[in-house]
Structure formats: structure tokens, C-alpha cells
Amino acid sequence: MATVDDFKKCDIDIRGIDATEMEQRILDFVKENPGASFATMSQRIPDFDGDLGWEAGKPFINVIIWMGMSAQAMVATNNLIRSDRLVAKWTSPLNYYFDGRALKLPVAAEPDTYETLHWVPLVFFTPEQLQ
């Protein structure tokens, strides 16, 4: 299992990163695999895996979205969610254990601010898959 010390927090400037190709890879994958987790995408989408950690940020302090992704994957996932082409849903961490990769952090019970790092296990769908 990944631990916090295994990854760098994302403190790079991601504004100039072109993630168009990665966006398409993620969309294609989720269309074929509804409910895909970060663990599955990291294993099966080329160049998704990396050494960056994605923190939720304000207003949620110490909430980790995922650790172990490339800058392109982080930008692409964020772009897809913000443009309503991808929907993230909270899930049980058991889905990640089943997929073979989970974070070694306490699971966040709800969106909140925590004293220590907590993880939000998410799975992904296209809007059409949820209709």
C-alpha cells in the first residue's frame, strides 16, 4: 500500500500542462469501465501513474484525493470533473483493495477538515452512466 512518504505533494505549476490526450484516455476508459477507481486507472491507462499526490485543498484541509498520479492525469481528471464530462462518487475503500491498490491513510468519513491526512476513495462515471 502507498504511504504519504512515497509521494510528492503537487506543488508544481500545472497551468501550462496540455492534458487533452490524457482526458480522452480517461474518458474512453471510464466509458468501458463504469465505476473505475484511481487504482484501476493507474494500472491500465498509459502515463496515468506517477509520483504526485492530489490534495483536495480549501476548504477541505488534510484531505487526499489520490497519491501516485502524473501531472497530466491530475490535470486531465480535474478538467473532466470541472467540465461535467466525468462524475466522481464517494466509494468504499474495499473497491480499492479489490483493485489492488489503496492508500495507507484513514478514510475521510465526510468532506471536512481533518487534523491529520485522510483519504477520499472515489470512483468515476460519465454523466450518461448515471442516468
Q: Is residue 25 assigned to a domain?
A: yes
Whether the CB-CB separation of 89 and 124 falls below 8 Å is answered with: yes
**CA dist., res. 32 & res. 38, Å (int):** 15
Q: Is residue 131 assigned to a domain?
A: no
Q: Is residue 60 assigned to a domain?
A: yes
With CA atoms as reference, report the closest residue to 3 among 75, 108, 103: 103
How confident is the model over 22-54, as pLDDT tens digits?
999 999 999 999 999 999 999 999 999 999 888
Q: Is residue 97 assigned to a domain?
A: yes
Q: Is residue 37 assigned to a domain?
A: yes
Q: Is residue 120 assigned to a domain?
A: yes
Taking the model in full, what pTM does it have?
A: 0.86
How confident is the model over 2-26, as pLDDT tens digits?
334 433 344 455 566 788 999 999 9
Per the structure, the count of domains in the chain is 1
Domain ranges, residue 39: 4-9+18-126
Q: Is residue 122 assigned to a domain?
A: yes
